[in-house]
Amino acid sequence: MSDFVDDEAILNFVEVTGADPDVAKSYLTVAEGRVEQAISLFMENGGAPLTSEIPERPQTSSSAASSTSSLPREPEEVRAPIAPKREALFSNDGPSFHRGGGRRAQPVSTIPGLPPSPFMQEPLGPIIPSIANDRNSRLAELFRPPTDIIHDANTLEHAREYAKHHNKWVIVTLNDPSEFGCQVMNRDLWKDSAVQDLIKENFIFIYWGADSPPGRNHRALYPVDSYPYVAIIDPITGERMKTWSTTMTPAEFMQDASEFLARHSLHLPAPARKKKKTVTPAGQRPVTELSEEEQLELALAASMGQTKVAPAADQDETADEVEAMEDVVPSTNVFDTIEPILNEEPTGSDAVRIQFRLPDGTRKVRRFRKTDPVRTLFQYVRADVPEARAKPFELMNFRDPLLPRINDSVEDAKLAGASITVDFQ
């Protein structure tokens, strides 16, 4: 059975359980190289090393009598007591039981189409409390899929329609229970509160099993080279905009996702402004809009030295053209009211960290109070960035401009821990 065990499986076992490599190898050998089953067995067995030794059976009185009759009697010796041993009996196919007598929970899937995994368990009946059961519960909770943010779409088309309606991107991740990296993503990335807030605000999160029907359909449309697999899909065109194929920390994912949202937008372009029509000062119609007869009359009058006024346009049409020429009254320039003020950086529990990304790629990090108005952020940028003192700029929180919310507080604008882009006009 040792052929099933490789160094990678031993490292994965040791990373989760903290056991010695020799203990990991023994459990993996019994589980025929299956890491999940070996970890489950280790937890049930209370972390004790496995042993294949069988205590020597004491001789019966009849056998002892026969042996003593055939052999010369020797002085009797007191044998040392047999050391206590703990052994676990299990079957690859049948159910196993706790030492307390309760039946062990069977692996089930809480996500449609996701194959069974020892990290997701549901009890089949009453279980007698035991230390192993508590550890299994903690292990199942540790690697549980992120049900708080999963959208229940069964097809990518349904997810795209929902995302278009709510003006959000679609993010798809495929879970392969045989890949330990997928379980690490469940444990470390998807349950991070900052990551969940980012996903809820900007994405529709789809979580499918790699071998489930929707997972197979997705792999047929978008080739998947390795796992873990995470992709961002454009809900309008269906184009795969970005992919990840390695495990990520929450900070790395937040950085990549924020940069993606800063570069791409789902907002439709604003309609083109209607071209203004030119109106003569006297309200006359332009020559190009006259009929052939009217143009001929004007030409004859000009050749004879007479002055003929072009027919005036209809009163309603002239009014519409004049209205079209009127410019929209510009709004008050808020930058005239923003002073470059560099306030003292606060500390304490009320302070939040905000990052500013400049067009040249540099980054600035500053702390603000939750009660500070958004105007304070503009004042800081104008005071700390030389270019911002002479040029108007906008602060973008992903796709949302902050200038309309200049009087809101940092907490109301949900800017705690945000990465804001400085966009010069």
Q: Of 221, 248, 263, which closes a domain?
A: 263
Same domain, yes or no: 229 and 104 = no
Same domain, yes or no: 39 and 128 = yes
Distance CA 376, CA 340 (A): 9
Q: What is the pLDDT of residue 44?
A: 80
Same domain, yes or no: 220 and 135 = no
pLDDT of 387-417, one tens digit each? Answer: 888 888 889 887 788 888 888 999 998 888 8
Same domain, yes or no: 161 and 220 = yes
Q: Is residue 61 part of a domain?
A: no
Q: Residue 126 — pLDDT band, cuts 50, 70, 90?
A: very low
CB contact set of 24 (below 8 Å; sequence gap of 6+): 10, 13, 14, 17, 38
Q: Is residue 272 part of a domain?
A: no
Q: Is residue 168 part of a domain?
A: yes
Q: Is residue 71 part of a domain?
A: no
Q: What is the pLDDT of residue 417?
A: 83
Mind spelling out the 3-state secondary structure of 281-347?
CCCECCHHHCCHHHHHHHHHHHHCCCCCCCCECCHHHHHHHHHHHCCCCCCCCHHHHCCCCCCCCCC
Q: Is residue 60 part of a domain?
A: no
- Tell me the pLDDT of the chain averaged across its residues: 75
Q: Of 263, 278, 304, which closes a domain?
A: 263
pLDDT of 275-309, one tens digit each? Answer: 444 444 445 566 677 777 787 787 777 777 655 55
Tokens of 216: 């197979």
Q: Residue 325 — pLDDT band, cuts 50, 70, 90?
A: very low
Same domain, yes or no: 214 and 342 = no
Q: What is the pLDDT of residue 281?
A: 47
Same domain, yes or no: 18 and 128 = yes
pLDDT above 90: percentage of residues in the chain? 20
Q: Is residue 174 part of a domain?
A: yes
Segments forming the whole domain that contains residue 321 = 287-325
DSSP readout, 140-192? Answer: HHHT---TTTB---SSHHHHHHHHHHHT-EEEEEEE-TT-HHHHHHHHHTTT-
Q: CATH number of the domain at 189, please.
A: 3.40.30.10
Q: Residue 199 — pLDDT band, cuts 50, 70, 90?
A: very high
Same domain, yes or no: 15 and 126 = yes
Q: Which of 61-70, 245-254, 363-372 has the lowest mean pLDDT?
A: 61-70
Q: Is residue 134 part of a domain?
A: yes
Same domain, yes or no: 225 and 249 = yes
Q: Is residue 351 part of a domain?
A: yes
Tokens of 420: 């804001």
Based on the structure, what is the number of domains in the chain?
4
Q: What is the pLDDT of residue 41?
A: 84
Same domain, yes or no: 165 and 101 = no
Same domain, yes or no: 342 and 394 = yes
CB contact set of 267 (below 8 Å; sequence gap of 6+): 167, 399
| 46: amino acid identity, one letter | G
Same domain, yes or no: 111 and 12 = yes
Same domain, yes or no: 109 and 26 = yes
